[in-house]
């Protein structure tokens, strides 16, 4: 019997279009097709894959109006955000195409033979990165475009030469199907095999589990909660052939405001923080969740200024009932603590009831930083437009609390480089040891897609601290090295041939060269 | 009560020196010291770590006579091999020091700010690799120097800036202690903290398990059997904070000999193969374990020539009783198959009895390749001086059997580039999909330590197909990226500062540059 589920408009809570739930048999067929595509030499052609990525980008731009309308109704995200996200999604497809044009992504390394090397002669050895195999991508609910069907995981896996099977997020099924339609068309137009890309929709867990277990799947990309990411990583580790799972999970993205920074620019920081906490319902992986603010009158004024700004924001539409309920429950638990104080005015609808659809009022709480110095739930994520200010007396109290942080995607430091020189150096050292990205005098939301970006971090921010899910180096997750020793010229890939016919950067006898 | 265990001379089976077994409490204290060392800025100084690596290399060379004598008595490996292995071990310590001199190992990437970027302005982002944290290294029995206490895992982890805790292999405890003595002295001479390096000896499993569980440990390097490597990887995956395990495990290192190659140079191939199978008791990770040889008279002559050469080799001393017993059992099971035929003359002592100490006669078996085309134990590793020839009729039979191979460290192809052009291309494609290194007209044993080397491969050859345990890129296993966004100049590491004060290669706005 075919199972179905419905899209839901979180602005009203009303059901929308009906979608067919994929079955485990669909997973097997899809994984087999992906495996066939992976074996097809066509997918090994960098130019064909660049054409696919550019074609998908152009098609998504062409479908903007349709995609934004459907995504808005499925996610409650505003049109301007969705247009921006679509531009980012198309932009990163184009950026990976440009990476393929440059050709350096294979990281070619060549060592000349040396018959006199000791203790043993050195043969001719040439090494490059090759694609890992078919990749399963789990779409995220909070970025229906940029971290979903044609998002960063899909773009980087396709760029690497890996077929992609997307497990679409049931919170935006229509958006996923639209994007998948454009991607499939781009695959065909680029002359690539059908199994290069597939999209499976399911509201239940079984399809995703079957996909992680499928023997053809060589790696998994995931963005979502720590619990779901860990479950997938654990499952993949139990396979007869374990595979890497690149899960980008939870983060409270700690922010530190120094006394000097408050004195210099409290209003500007409050403006930026309020926006970073409340924009798009605070449903960003890099939303600042805990902010360390000095105790005392200036800190009190800052807290009040922040609360005032959050009070002025309309209740945020959250992505779905599950997100709204989880936030309401976690905020209720937070507020019930004796050492936690609400900073915002009570409103009708607080506690998740009383608003239309699935909404939550952006809000702030505060607690003494000392209460977090022994760990515990003050340093846990509240996914949504909620921030906890942790008030610290001195640097020792600040450092003790920071010492309790688990691995994070990012941290932000608001300090005055001159007055705070020593503190800034200390904080940089402490935080660089437990986060993936340090932001100075800014906010971690709005992750730029560029070569240097690192959107990752130690566990539990991710399951794979060596890797990033945003930026050009995300491609490395889906590549493995192969070395060719004393190979005849005829069998060498072009990237490794004498004379460097591709004109790419290569490390030759230890030195980078494009000659 | 203190537990002890004894070294054993495998040449005679007699007990040698007594060693104290580490206790779980030693693990906790050692891991805590490693954590303290990791937090010490001294360890972040590339020059200090280069001095440590060079100091250790010089000290090992200085201790050669002592180390080789002890290692010979503990492993049965001949002096010439141990001197060569010591040279290799010292050489790779020096090579990682040179990598630190060059400075490119931090893979610096800088992107300039672009206020006009769409859909959002791009901030100043600078990213580099930083050390992951304290690393546990499990020494291998078969390379008492190059893959053990001061071997490739230790050298690359120290180069990355990670303290190392070695779980020494109980098969060569005295060798481990000697090497550890030199490493500890080099640590002190380089002015680095005591916890930079530690060595724990234990014959039981508990110390290793406690080490994998220690919260301070951030990654594990391992070389050994698939069963032990998988057990460690599984254990690490179950930790509250899972950590990466770089386990280099089993491999049969398939070799293909074409009909044309046999016609052209059967004797030379038989010479090389006999040496590659029998040298050092065949106890190398890259020993060719299965060789695909054409059916028919020329293949028969080749098989006979190989058997004759192996018959002429003296019985090999194996590393310890466990290795000898495991080999005897696996060979007995192999020989009991109805489709397997022994190629060597029966000798007194076959089946592991009748020799002094722990020895096994180098030997060969053969079976029809068709018998391997459905998988099964013909494609399993026999760790020691044993090779299985799989006789194939045509290319289809060859490809069907190759299609059953699991992930491998290496494969070797003996073919004639002109006559075999099409077959060579096909085999390259098939084998590149399941191995880490392809060797042409050569033998995979004798792994060169160089930039381009890849000593890794898909599971079960390793637990981490993206990484290598030999060669300069082995350092990447122990580094993770950190991005600095809009950071004040004062807090930026030198590698990321304006003007490139270190003069290293960096990717700046997408282009590699040393300016």
Q: What is the ipTM of this complex?
A: 0.97
Q: Does B494 touch chain A (CB under 8 A)?
A: no
Nearest neighbour of A452 by CB, restricted to B110, B237, B436: B110
- Residue A20, sorted as left (phi over 0), alpha (psi -120 to 50) or beta, turns out to be beta
Over residues A350-355, the mean pLDDT reads: 57
Q: How close is the nearest chain A Cα to the Cα of B94, in Å?
A: 13
Residue of A nearest to B435 (CA): A482
Tokens linked to A412? 């932000």
Q: Does B242 touch chain A (CB under 8 A)?
A: yes
Asked whether the beta carbons of A108 and A504 are under 8 A apart, the reply is yes
Query: What are the two backbone dihedrals, phi and then psi, of residue A426, each rounded to the nearest 5 degrees?
Result: -60, -50
Nearest neighbour of B452 by CB, restricted to A83, A125, A244: A125
Q: Does B227 touch chain A (CB under 8 A)?
A: no
Distances (CA, A) of B155 to A115, A208, A467, B90: 25, 40, 22, 10
Q: Is the dihedral of CA A92, A94, A96, A99 positive or negative?
A: negative
Q: If pLDDT is split at 50, 70 and 90, which confidence band does A1 have?
A: low
Residue of A nearest to B475 (CA): A466
pLDDT at res. B373: 83
Q: If pLDDT is split at 50, 70 and 90, which confidence band does A345 have?
A: confident
All residues at 6 or more sequence positions from B258 whose CB lies less than 8 Å from its CB, including other chains: B294, B413, B414, B415, B416, B419, B420, B423
Show residues of chain B in contact with A272, CB under 8 Å: none
Q: How close is the nearest chain B Cα to the Cα of A352, in Å?
A: 32
Strand ranges of the sheet holding B435-440, from the earlier edge strand across to the other edge: A511-513, A506-508, A108-111, A125-131, A479-485, B435-440, B408-414, B255-257, B290-294, B386-392, B363-368, B341-342
Does the reported pTM lie above 0.90? yes
Residues of chain B whose pLDDT is less than 50?
351-352
Nearest to B106, CA basis, from B469, B491, B506, B466: B506
Given a cut of 60, is residue A348 above it in pLDDT?
A: no
Q: How close is the nearest chain A Cα to the Cα of B129, in Å?
A: 9
Nearest neighbour of B120 by CB, restricted to A407, A446, A468: A446
Nearest to A318, CA basis, from A80, A68, A74: A74
Tokens linked to A116? 């006199």
Which residues of B are catalytically annotated? 248, 285
Relative orientation angle of helices A24-39 and A206-213, to the nearest 10 degrees: 30
Distances (CA, A) of B59 to A380, B67, B195, B346: 49, 11, 19, 46
Alpha helix (H) ranges present in A42-114? 46-62, 64-75, 79-102
Q: Does B118 touch chain A (CB under 8 A)?
A: yes
Q: How close is the nearest chain B Cα to the Cα of A289, in Å?
A: 19
Over residues A241-256, the mean pLDDT reads: 97
- Of the CA atoms within 13 Å of residue B160, those in its CB half-sphere come to 29
Burial of B484 (0-12, 13-18, 19+ CB in 10 A): buried
Q: Does A119 touch chain B (CB under 8 A)?
A: yes
Nearest neighbour of A459 by CB, restricted to B130, B241, B505: B241
Q: How close is the nearest chain B Cα to the Cα of A195, in Å?
A: 18
Chain B contact probe: residue of A113, A412, A483 with most B CBs at under 10 A: A483
- Residue A338, sorted as left (phi over 0), alpha (psi -120 to 50) or beta, turns out to be alpha
Radius of gyration of chain A (CA): 24
Asked whether the beta carbons of B432 and B403 are under 8 A apart, the reply is no
CB contact residues (below 8 A), chain A span 73-112, against chain B? 83-85, 87-88, 91, 102, 104, 109-111
Q: Does A212 touch chain B (CB under 8 A)?
A: no
Show residues of chain B in contact with A87, CB under 8 Å: 118-119
Nearest to A257, CA basis, from A288, A289, A287, A292: A292
Q: What span, in angstroms and rounded, lies between the C-alpha atoms of B251 and A463?
A: 28
Nearest neighbour of A452 by CB, restricted to B237, B407, B483: B483
pLDDT at res. B1: 64
Chain B contact probe: residue of A41, A90, A119, A469 with most B CBs at under 10 A: A119
Tokens linked to B42? 């001294």
Distances (CA, A) of B420 to A124, B413, B425: 21, 11, 8
CB contact residues (below 8 A), chain B span 393-432, against chain A? 407, 417, 421, 424-425, 428, 432
pLDDT tens digits, one per residue of A422-467: 999 999 999 999 999 999 999 999 999 999 999 999 999 999 999 9
Q: Is there a contact between A438 and B476 if contact means CB atoms under 8 Å apart?
A: no
Write the DSSP symbol of residue A122: B
Which residues of A are catalytically annotated? 248, 285
Q: Is there a contact between B486 and A130 if contact means CB atoms under 8 Å apart?
A: no
Q: Does A241 touch chain B (CB under 8 A)?
A: yes
Q: If pLDDT is split at 50, 70 and 90, which confidence band does A349 have?
A: low
Over residues A41-64, the mean pLDDT reads: 98
Nearest to A218, CA basis, from B379, B466, B410, B237: B466
Chain A contact probe: residue of B133, B449, B452 with most A CBs at under 10 A: B452
Asked whether the beta carbons of B435 and B411 are under 8 A apart, the reply is yes
Q: Is there a contact between A448 and B117 if contact means CB atoms under 8 Å apart?
A: yes
Mean pLDDT of chain A: 96
Q: Is there a contact between B436 and A483 if contact means CB atoms under 8 Å apart?
A: yes
Alpha helix (H) ranges present in B312-449? 321-335, 395-402, 421-432
Residue by residue, DSSP assigns A348-401 as: TTGGG-SSSSSEE--EEEEEEGGGGTT-SGGGS---SSEEEEEEESSHHHHHHH
Q: Is there a contact between A111 and B452 if contact means CB atoms under 8 Å apart?
A: yes
Residue of B nearest to A454 (CA): B483
Show residues of chain B in contact with A451, CB under 8 Å: 109, 111, 507, 509-510
Given a cut of 70, is residue A513 above it in pLDDT?
A: yes
Radius of gyration of chain B (CA): 24
Nearest neighbour of A452 by CB, restricted to B109, B117, B446: B109
All residues at 6 or more sequence positions from A199 whose CB lies less than 8 Å from its CB, including other chains: A149, A165, A166, A168, A176, A177, A180, A183, A184
Q: Is there a contact between A132 and B465 if contact means CB atoms under 8 Å apart?
A: yes
Q: What span, in angstroms and rounded, lies between the C-alpha atoms of B508 and B515?
A: 10
pLDDT at res. A118: 87
């Amino acid at each position: 019997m075919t199972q179905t589920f419905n899209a839901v408009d979180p602005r009203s809570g009303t059901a929308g279009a009906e979608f067919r739930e994929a079955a485990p048999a669909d997973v097997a067929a899809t994984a087999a097709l992906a495996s066939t595509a992976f074996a097809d030499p066509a997918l090994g052609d960098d130019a064909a894959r660049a054409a696919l990525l550019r074609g998908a980008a152009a098609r998504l731009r062409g479908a903007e109006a349709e995609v934004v309308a459907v995504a808005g109704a499925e996610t409650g995200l505003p049109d301007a955000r969705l247009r921006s996200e679509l531009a980012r999604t198309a932009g990163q497809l184009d950026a990976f195409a440009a990476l393929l044009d440059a050709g350096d992504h294979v990281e070619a390394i060549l060592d000349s033979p040396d018959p006199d090397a000791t203790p043993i002669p050195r043969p001719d050895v040439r090494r490059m990165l090759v694609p890992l195999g078919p990749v399963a991508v789990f779409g995220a609910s909070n970025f229906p475009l940029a971290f979903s069907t044609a998002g960063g995981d899909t773009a980087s896996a396709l760029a690497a030469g890996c077929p992609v099977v997307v497990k679409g997020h049931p919170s935006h099924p229509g958006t996923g199907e639209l994007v998948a339609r454009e991607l499939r068309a781009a695959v065909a137009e680029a002359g690539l095999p059908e199994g290069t890309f597939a999209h499976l929709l399911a509201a239940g867990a079984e399809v995703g589990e079957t996909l992680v277990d499928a023997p053809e799947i060589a790696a998994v990309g995931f963005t979502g909660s720590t619990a779901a990411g860990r479950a997938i990583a654990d499952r993949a580790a139990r396979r007869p052939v374990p595979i890497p799972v690149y899960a980008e999970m939870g983060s409270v993205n700690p922010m530190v405001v120094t006394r000097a920074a408050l004195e210099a620019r409290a209003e500007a920081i409050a403006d930026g923080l309020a926006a970073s906490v409340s924009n798009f319902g605070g449903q960003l992986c890099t939303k600042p969740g805990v902010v360390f603010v000095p105790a005392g009158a200036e800190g009190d004024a800052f807290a009040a200024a922040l609360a005032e700004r959050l009070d002025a924001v309309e209740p945020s539409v959250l992505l779905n009932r599950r997100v709204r309920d989880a936030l309401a429950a976690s905020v209720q638990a937070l507020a019930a603590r004796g050492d936690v104080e609400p900073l915002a005015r009570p409103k009708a609808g607080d506690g998740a009831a009383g608003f239309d659809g699935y909404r939550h009022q952006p809000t702030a709480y505060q607690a003494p930083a000392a209460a977090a110095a022994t760990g515990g739930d003050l340093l846990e994520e509240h996914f949504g437009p909620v921030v906890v200010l942790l008030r610290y007396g001195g640097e020792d109290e600040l450092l003790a609390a920071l010492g309790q942080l688990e691995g994070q995607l990012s941290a932000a430091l608001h300090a005055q480089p001159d007055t705070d020189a020593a503190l800034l150096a200390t904080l940089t050292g402490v935080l660089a040891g437990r986060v993936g990205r340090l932001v100075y005098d800014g906010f971690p939301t709005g992750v730029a897609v560029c070569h240097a970006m690192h959107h990752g971090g130690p566990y539990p921010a991710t399951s794979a601290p060596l890797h990033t899910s945003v930026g050009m180096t995300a491609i490395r997750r889906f590549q493995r090295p192969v070395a060719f020793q004393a190979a005849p010229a005829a069998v060498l890939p072009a990237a490794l041939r004498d004379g460097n016919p591709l004109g790419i950067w290569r490390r030759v006898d230890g030195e980078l060269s494009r000659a």
